Amino acid sequence: MKRLLLILALLLLITGTMLAGTLAYYTTTVDLATGGVTAKEFIFLGEGTSSFTTDEKIGPLEKIEWPFKVKNYDGAAITETDLYYRLTVTVSATEGKEAIAPLVVALRDSVGEIVGTVTGTGTFEIYGEFPLRESGQYHDYTVEIYWPDGGADDLSFAGSGFGNTIKVSALASQVPLAPPEPVRGIEVLYEIVNSWNENGVNKFQYQITITNNTDHEIENWAISFSLPTETLTDSVWKARADHSGLPANSYRFYHPENYGQNIAPGSSISFSGHGIGRGWRAIEDVLVNNSAVNLRSILAPGGTDPEEPPQGTVRVHYETEKPWPENGGSRFKYKITITNDTNQHIYDWYITFQLPTDRMSGETWNAIANHEGLPEGSYRFHHPTSYNQDIAPGDEISFSGMALGSGEEAIENVLVNGSSVEQTCSFGTLK
């Protein structure tokens, strides 16, 4: 059983194709449609927009991925100002068809973190920027389309009358792009009401309150959101949980079965549950019945609300020791320091970067290396398991390791938790 999936995505430079395959389902083997072009690079050298169209087929339990890059350079040509961009993902029923309701569409960043998701139909936006630098920069993204197993319910979407249109549009500007105002009238409060440590595991109790300040009733309410670095358990009361088919760290709750299904104008409902973590992280990408909301968070002591306007800069300093000869090459020690000069905590920190020809050798102290799946010369390090997991405002962390090469190359395309930083380097000065 295959359904038409019409994909609209970014295009500036087309360099690949999606190959055909097969899928066994309900004892029937169906050929996948031959895919069209895949967007590999979306190059911004100034303000502008772009998109492309191609057809694809999808069936239950199948996943399709569309990788692309957002770049501010083309060869030697580099943008000469700060550049800001917005990616908008819109999922709707294909013209003349009904939507494939269980279809999950997510956007992942360069380290695989989900930065936006929608189930069925809906819209989300993400924002990025390229600060002015002498060297070109790029950000990797992947559109992930997945049809989770719905069992017999999948038969409800059989036939040629079902299809989804996925549109990924992009806008670039030389001035910051302001996020849109959320839908007024629906407010969500995420509150950590208690936190404790149990046998060495940090746990918390949360309460979510949905307030309807609109002039119409919210019928059969449901709320979905993501919580990137903490985990909610199955312990929940005054609501029902159904996270099936959602990406990791994404959650969906809906009304109780026999009461509290609707929220009248001027009324509120609350439900509670337990989570694993410090209770320091606010929920994100919050939708009530697929509508954006006004979100407020009250976190456990030590947490910061990401809704508070960020101020300040995250700085990364890369320092090397003078190299020494070894096995016909050169070897050196390096140290990376991340300084949080902002008003926000950096939770569960990780850093990604590239090196042109020098190579990290695998020996690391005070950080964990995880370069799996990254291209040659690309690196990812994250916090230790039991200490230095977060960087409070005004604090810094450092980690060290060994590398091969000249020790005189600057790390490039540096991101901390997926965001750009201010970078400095010093070579041969590490003692």
Tens of pLDDT along 121-146?
778 888 888 888 888 888 888 888 88
Taking all residues of the chain, what is their mean pLDDT, rounded to a whole number?
Answer: 78
8 Å CB contact between 132 and 81: yes
**Which residue has 């068809």 as its token pair?**
97
Cα-to-chain-centroid distance, residue 410: 27
Render pLDDT for 200-215 as a digit per residue (tens, 0 to 9): 788 899 999 999 988 8
Answer whether residue 181 is part of any domain: no
What separation in angstroms does the CA of 336 have from each of 61, 137, 310, 350? 42, 20, 23, 12
Give 3-state DSSP helix, strand, coil % of the chain, rounded to 5.
Answer: 0, 55, 45
Contacts of 186 (CB under 8 A, 6+ apart): 210, 211, 212, 213, 214, 218, 288, 291, 293, 294
pLDDT value of position 305: 54
Question: 400 and 337 share a domain?
Answer: yes
Domain boundary residue, one of 173, 206, 222: 173
pLDDT value of position 92: 76
Taking the C-alpha atoms of residue 363 and residue 316, their distance in angstroms, rounded to an integer, is 20
Question: 207 and 78 share a domain?
Answer: no
Q: Within a 13 Å sphere around the CA of 315, how many CA atoms are in the beta-carbon half?
A: 12
Taking the C-alpha atoms of residue 22 and residue 20, their distance in angstroms, rounded to an integer, is 7
Percent of residues, the chain, with pLDDT higher than 70: 80
* Tokens representing residue 284 in the block: 């994100």
Answer whether residue 282 is part of any domain: yes
Give the SS3 label for residue 349.
Answer: coil
Render pLDDT for 58-105 as a digit per residue (tens, 0 to 9): 777 778 887 778 888 877 888 778 888 888 887 777 777 777 777 788
Answer whether residue 307 is part of any domain: no
Question: Which segment, 1-5, 143-147, 380-384, is predicted with the most confidence on average?
Answer: 380-384
pLDDT above 60 for 28: no
CATH of the domain at 217: 2.60.40.290
What is the domain range of residue 133? 3-173
* Tokens representing residue 212 in the block: 């309807």
Question: 128 and 231 share a domain?
Answer: no
Higher pLDDT, 65 or 403: 403
Answer whether residue 101 is part of any domain: yes
106: which DSSP letter? E
Answer whether residue 272 is part of any domain: yes
Taking the C-alpha atoms of residue 21 and residue 29, their distance in angstroms, rounded to an integer, is 10
Least confident of 17-26, 40-49, 99-108, 381-390: 17-26
Which sign, positive or negative, has the C-alpha torsion 51, 57, 59, 64? negative
Report the number of distinct structural domains present in the chain.
3
Per-residue pLDDT, averaged over 319-338, amounts to: 93
Q: How confident is the model at residue 53 (pLDDT cuts 50, 70, 90)?
A: very low
Answer whether residue 431 is part of any domain: no
Question: 132 and 214 share a domain?
Answer: no
pLDDT value of position 16: 22
Answer whether residue 303 is part of any domain: no
Q: How confident is the model at residue 366 (pLDDT cuts 50, 70, 90)?
A: very high
Taking the C-alpha atoms of residue 304 and residue 308, their distance in angstroms, rounded to an integer, is 8
Question: 150 and 200 share a domain?
Answer: no
Question: 17 and 134 share a domain?
Answer: yes
Taking the C-alpha atoms of residue 168 and residue 273, their distance in angstroms, rounded to an integer, is 35
Task: Strand 104-108: give its sheet, edge to edge.
Answer: 13-17, 37-43, 63-71, 138-146, 104-108, 114-119
pLDDT above 90 for 31: no
pLDDT value of position 255: 92
Question: 363 and 387 share a domain?
Answer: yes
pLDDT above 80 for 303: no
**In this structure, how many other beta carbons lie within 10 angstroms of the beta carbon of residue 392?**
12
pLDDT above 50 for 173: yes
pLDDT value of position 320: 95
Q: How confident is the model at residue 409 (pLDDT cuts 50, 70, 90)?
A: very high
Per-residue pLDDT, averaged over 371-380, amounts to: 88
